[in-house]
Structure 1
């Protein structure tokens, strides 16, 4: 009886440990984990702030905070160990008159940053596929 109880307890512990495990983070690792994501986002913002199509959207914006939140968000999308603590995409972008051209320009600036940091093309596509539906949340519907 005690062997069965011990086996049951062991199975319960293994089950609990497995339930708390993260999903496969291989994609997150292809981006260089948090350090790599931070470099990518930093480079993206160099591009965004120099890009006449996107720079006006970031005048007087809290860039340091935005970059931290974007690293969190991308980390979550890539099944990394992060938690996104920012506002919803809709709330963050409402009233900024963001159209498809501006959204696409930011995507181009992100792609250039990912290229610069050696992110494999297939990994870039996986992230972009996760980001694309967000356009519905950030577009201006006025």
Structure 2
């Protein structure tokens, strides 16, 4: 049986294509979760949220809105949401933003105060400004369904 050069080359091309595809997929995943990694992955997000909640409760501009809030549940939902939005492996299991905030009469000033408090928590955790800005940019579209007043 005579083996041609093309027959020998075909498996090499197939393996090379497979590795190139895997490399591209890995590179795409790295780009998709760059914010997640920049936040410190799950443990980093947990630390940010742990620092964020007391900042909210101390903020006179918005703390009254959280007086009846289950802060432990809020922390869990925020961690899921930040994880998912940043490209991490989590899935947010909470309510849609419009439904969750419909009766809260949230103002733009309160929305911006909360965003400012988040940035303070990220600063406290030494998150680079570029990563902070990317997360805030992913959260910004939530303003419309959250702000009801």
> What is the TM-score when the length of structure 2 is the normalising length?
0.79
Match of 1:108 in 2: 116
Question: In the alignment, what sits opposite 2:75?
Answer: 67
Q: 1:24 to 1:133 in 2, by over 3 A?
A: closer
Correspondences of 1:1-142 after superposition (within 5 Å): 22=29, 24-141=32-149
Residue 108 of structure 1 and its aligned partner are, at CA, apart by 0.9
Partners of 2:34 and 2:105 in 1: CA distance:
36
RMSD: 2.3
Structure 1 residue 54 displacement after superposition? 1.1
Give SS of 2:32's match.
coil
Q: CA deviation at 1:24?
A: 2.9
Within 1, Cα distance between the matches of 2:112 and 2:61?
10
Secondary structure of the corresponding residue to residue 133 of structure 1: helix
**Could you list the per-position Cα deviations for residues 60-91 of structure 1 after superposition, in whole angstroms to 9, with x for gaps in the alignment?**
11111111011111111110011111110011
| Cα deviation, residue 133, structure 1 | 1.4
Q: TM-score, normalised by structure 1?
A: 0.83
| Structure 1: 5+ residue stretches without partners | none
